[in-house]
Structures are given as C-alpha cells and as structure tokens.
Structure 1
Amino acid sequence: MDIVHSMQVFVSVMETGSFTKAAQALHLHRPAVSKTIQLLELQLGGRLLNRTTRQVSFTPEGEVFYKRCKAILAEVDETMASLGNRPARLTGKLRVDLPVALGKLLIIPSLMEFQSQYPGIELTLGASDKPIDMIAEGVDCVVRLGALEDSSMVATGVGFLPMVTCAAPAYLERFGEPRTLADLDTHRAVNYFSGTNPRPIEWIFVVDGQVKTMRLDSGINVNDSEAFVTSALAGFGLIQGLELTVREHLKDGSLVRVLDGYPVPSKRISILYPHRDLLPPKVEAFVQWLKALMATHNLT
C-alpha cells in the first residue's frame, strides 16, 4: 500500500466530509477511496472514521492521525518543491477565496504574474464577502478584510487598504454636507453587514489620535461590496468605503469626499489558512506573492 497516497485520501475525506467529494477531488472512483480507508484502518489496527449516511467524522484516533498526516504531507510537498530550489517545481491545485472588490480590482488583474512564477500551480478562485467553512469547502486559504472573528485558523497580515468617507452629490444636496461628527446625527448611512449577522458594522474615525466608533441610522443595509458602492451612488446615504473601490467615482465626481478632518483607519488585509505545523509550499508561495503585490502598490 502506498502510505503517502493513503494519507492523501484520508485527509481529503476528512476535509471534504464525504467519500464521494474526496473521490471527485482526487479523480478516483468512490469504491477506491472507501477501500483505501479500510486498508489504512486495517493496517493501523483501529477505526479512524465514524461513518453515517450523511457525513463522516473523526474518531479520537482519527483526529490524531489527521494532524500527523497533514504535517507529514506538508513536509513531503516542501521536500519535493525544494529540489533545485525552483518555483516552477511547485505543482498542484490551490483554492483561494477572495473578497469581491479586492479580488476584482487588484488581485485578479495581477494573477498572471503569479501564474508565470508558478506555472505548475492550478488556481481555483472563489469570490465572497461572507464567512466560509474552509475545511468543508476544501479551500486552502482565504483573503479577508478588517477585524477577524475568533477562529481556529492561522491569520497572516499582508497589508492595509486606505478608507474614505464619501457620498453622492444628490445625497449631499438633500441632507447637506456633514462638517463634524456631531452632524452625523441627522444623516443616513449605507451600512454594511457581514454574512448572516444583520447588525451593521460600526463606523470608525480617528479623533485626536484616539479611535472613535459610531453607529449611523441606515438609509439601506447591504452585505455585498458592489451593492454597497452602488447604493452610495444611488444616494441612499454616506459610506465609509475602501478608497480602492471608490477611486474612479471620486475622480469623476459621482462621489464626493466628506469629513476629511476625521480620518478613517486603514483596513487590514489578512490571509487565513487551517492551522498546521508546516504551511504547504503552494500556500506559502501565494502568501509571499500577495505580500509583494501589496508592497508594489504601497499598501503595506
């Protein structure tokens, strides 16, 4: 029995939560996956998985074995990739989930450079502003903006995005331009909420070197970055948005900066990936490439 292959099959079953999905991911027949797990359990002399009609889950022994498999497979990948120390030797599939706006406006337009450096890596991209289950969905790493929820994932900061407070001219004609934070009591906001949590994200300003948070009445609430900017353009209210996403609108006058005397802290960019002893070389390569991209655009 090829023990490395067996470990790869076992890990795939656990990370997809399904024999069928693991077979699809590994381009194997489902019976072959099932047989591999059975032989592995027979060789180890114990049950690694609990099987039901709906899902598979770790036994205590299986959880220990999973963690060791991840470390060993990562070390195997790194050893193979390091031969000759050439990036072109990195191979395999890399699945990444990106924030919609950051992916569309900055990362994806630059990804041909990553592909040129690592032609053996096959990229699969998802674009989402909502939390995802990385293990269940088989995602290698995710890029996220702002404060991160408590998580068992490892987070690496790669840069910061400037923020700006602005509004459409039509909105300012109707409600007037706010000059101070106290003026915001009579204004409406395009408020953003994340995932299924309907509570809007707080507004943040820096006042005399101190961070001040506020909540504004909503003209509309959205949980999509493109709908967020579109709602501001339509005149629903003020927004605190990524400068990257409103830059062209500020240039053509369809959005106008306000409250310049009250800066907004930049939003942190982070990469998250499952905790493991050794980071797979293909993920490490993407992390380092993204750090370099942020530095190129003066976003570190």
Structure 2
Amino acid sequence: MNQLLAMRAFIRVVESGSFRGAANQLLLPRSTVSKLVTDLEKHLGTRLMHRTTRHVAVTPEGEEYYRHAARLVAEIDEADGAVRGSKLTPRGHLRIESTATFAQNILIPHLPDFHAQYPHITIALGTSNRTANIVGEGVDCAIRAGDIGDLSLVARHLFDAGFVTCASPAYLERMGTPAAPQELAGRHCKVGFFSHADGKAKPMLFVKPGDRFTVSELQFSANEDNGQIAMMLAGLGIGQNLRPFVQPYLESGQLVEILGEWSHPPLPFHVVYPPGRHQSARLKAFIQWLIERFGKGGVPPATLSGR
C-alpha cells in the first residue's frame, strides 16, 4: 500500500464529502480511491468512515486520524515546495470561479498578462451567480464580492469597488434627470436586483454626509449584473451598479452617471481559497498575480471608485 497516497485519498474524501469528489480531485478512478481508503483502514485496524450508497460519515477515529494526517501531508507538501520551488516553474491546471460580470469586465481582459508570465498554467474559469463549494467541487480559488460567510476559507482582499447611479440617455431624455434620490419614488422607473435565494428585491441605497435614503420599489430587476446593466441600456430605468462593470458604457455614452453627490457604500472583493495545505505553486502564483494586478495600485482608482 502506498500509505501517503492513501492518506491523501482519505483527506480528500473527508473534505469533499464523497468518494466521487475525491476521485475527481485526485484524477483517479473512484474504485481506486475506495480501495486506498479500505487498505488504510486495514493497515490501521480501525474503521475511518461509514459508507452507504449515498452518504459518507467520518467516525470519531476517522476525525482524529484526519487531523493528524492533514497536518502531516501539509508538512510534506511544504517541504517539497521549499526544495522544488526555486527550481521549478509553476505549471499545471487551475479551476477558478467568479461571477460572469467580474470575469467579463475585470478578470479576462487581464489574463493575457498572466499567461505571458506563467505560460505553463492552464485555467478553467467557471462563471456562475451561485456560491461554489470550493473544496467539494475541486475549485482552487474563487473571487467573491461582499462579506465572506465561510470562515473556513482564507480570504485575501483585492479592492473595494464603488457604485454608480446611472441610466441611458434615451431614458433621461424621456423622463428627465432627477436632482435628488427622493424624486425616484415618484414617476421614475427603477432597475435593480433580486436575490436568487429568496426572490426578494434589494433596495437602492443613497448616502451623503448627514443623509441616507433608500428606494425599495423596483419596476425591473435581475439576479445578476449583466442582466441589470442590459435593462439600463435598454432604457428601462435608473439603476445602481459597480463602477468597474459600467465604466465602458459610461465612457461610450451608452449610460450617463447621475446623482454623483450621493454614494453607495463600496463593495469589497476578495479571492478565497482553502487553507495553506491546499496551496500549490500555481495557485500561489495566481493569487499573488491577482493581488499585484488588482490590489493597491493594480487597477486605476478611477476605474474602481471614480474618485
């Protein structure tokens, strides 16, 4: 039995919650992963997990062994990386997740630079509005906006993006330009977002020193940025979106910024990934590139905040 490989298999089964997930991450047949864990149990003389056709549950002995094994394998990987890191160029495959709008407007335009620096790293970029299970789905890292709810992940701050209130020239010519957010509660149409989780509309928020105003009534809404921006471009109404996402349309004149003296609290963006034991040289290279490219000084401030 290859005990180190068996330990790796067991660790991946625990973290992914299934033999199939572990097999996908290790690029091994499911039957091989199952046999490795079975051989490890025979070697230890104890059952590490209970198996059914639909569920895997770790035994108390398995939980104890997992803690020790994960730490040991992490130390081995760290030792290997320390010796090999100075000699090897990062290479291999990365699975990354982000929203479609972030990928389209921010990440993808800069990927040629990453490829020029690391030509031996391939990338599979998943774009979705849902929150991916990073460990369970074999995702190396994800770029997320707002608060990071999963405290088991490492989160590295990239930047804060400011909001812009805007509308199409055709809409403003037809309905007029509001001088204050209070005017939006009248005859103006509002274009916003609804939560894909519960279907509830998210209010528009306007803040300036000593004043705060919210608009909850929306005539049109979408559950992701591209849809909401398309609605504004179609002249359906006034909306708020992140400056990096609407900047091209502001520059082209397809959208016009209004109510500039009112602000919406900026939205932080982070790259999140599993703790250190999962980091490879290629993942470290990508995370460092993200921070250098989009962190302080990486993206022009005007693109992010407009200030």
> TM-score category by the smaller chain?
0.7 to 0.9
Paired with 1:271 and 1:209, the residues of 2 have a C-alpha distance of 34
User: Do the aligned partners of 1:81 and 1:89 also contact (CA within 8 Å) in 2?
Assistant: no
TM-score (norm 2): 0.85
Other-structure match for 1:205: 206
TM-score (norm 1): 0.87
The letter of the residue matching 1:94 is: L
Other-structure match for 1:128: 128
**Deviation of 1:3 (Å):** 2.5
Other-structure match for 1:168: 168
**Deviation of 1:87 (Å):** 8.0
Cα deviation, 1:204-245, whole Å, max 9, x if unaligned, reads 3331177x4623311212112211110111122211112222
The letter of the residue matching 1:283 is: L
The letter of the residue matching 2:196 is: G
User: Do the aligned partners of 2:22 and 2:33 also contact (CA within 8 Å) in 1?
Assistant: yes
Paired with 1:88 and 1:204, the residues of 2 have a C-alpha distance of 50
CA gap of 1:143–1:4, structure 2 versus 1, over 3 A, is: same
Other-structure match for 1:280: 279
**Deviation of 1:88 (Å):** 4.4
Other-structure match for 2:197: 196
CA gap of 1:111–1:11, structure 2 versus 1, over 3 A, is: farther
CA gap of 1:284–1:72, structure 2 versus 1, over 3 A, is: farther
Q: How does 1:82-231 map to 2 (within 5 A)?
A: 82-83=82-83, 85-86=85-86, 88-149=88-149, 151-186=151-186, 187-208=188-209, 212=212, 214-231=214-231
User: Do the aligned partners of 1:15 and 1:138 also contact (CA within 8 Å) in 2?
Assistant: no
Residues 1:255 and 2:273 aligned together: no
Cα deviation, 1:170-222, whole Å, max 9, x if unaligned, reads 32234322211221212332221343231233323331177x46233112121
Paired with 1:58 and 1:93, the residues of 2 have a C-alpha distance of 30
User: Do the aligned partners of 2:202 and 2:216 also contact (CA within 8 Å) in 1?
Assistant: no
Other-structure match for 2:35: 35
**Deviation of 1:165 (Å):** 0.7
User: Do the aligned partners of 2:98 and 2:125 also contact (CA within 8 Å) in 1?
Assistant: yes
User: Do the aligned partners of 2:142 and 2:272 also contact (CA within 8 Å) in 1?
Assistant: yes
User: Do the aligned partners of 2:203 and 2:217 also contact (CA within 8 Å) in 1?
Assistant: no
Cα deviation, 1:130-160, whole Å, max 9, x if unaligned, reads 2222232221221111234465433221112
CA gap of 1:213–1:14, structure 2 versus 1, over 3 A, is: farther
Q: Which secondary structure does the structure 2 equivalent of 1:164 belong to?
A: strand
CA gap of 1:34–1:95, structure 2 versus 1, over 3 A, is: same
**Deviation of 1:279 (Å):** 5.7
Other-structure match for 1:243: 243
The letter of the residue matching 1:58 is: V
The letter of the residue matching 1:208 is: P
Q: Which secondary structure does the structure 1 equivalent of 2:42 belong to?
A: helix
Paired with 1:118 and 1:31, the residues of 2 have a C-alpha distance of 35
The letter of the residue matching 1:81 is: G
The more displaced of 235-244 and 66-75 is: 66-75
Q: Which secondary structure does the structure 2 equivalent of 1:284 belong to?
A: helix
**Deviation of 1:296 (Å):** 2.2
User: Do the aligned partners of 2:41 and 2:48 also contact (CA within 8 Å) in 1?
Assistant: yes
Residues 1:296 and 2:298 aligned together: yes
The more displaced of 134-143 and 279-288 is: 279-288
CA gap of 1:233–1:69, structure 2 versus 1, over 3 A, is: farther
User: Do the aligned partners of 1:184 and 1:216 also contact (CA within 8 Å) in 2?
Assistant: no
May I ask how many residue pairs the two structures share in their alignment? Answer: 298
CA gap of 1:63–1:217, structure 2 versus 1, over 3 A, is: same
The letter of the residue matching 1:78 is: E
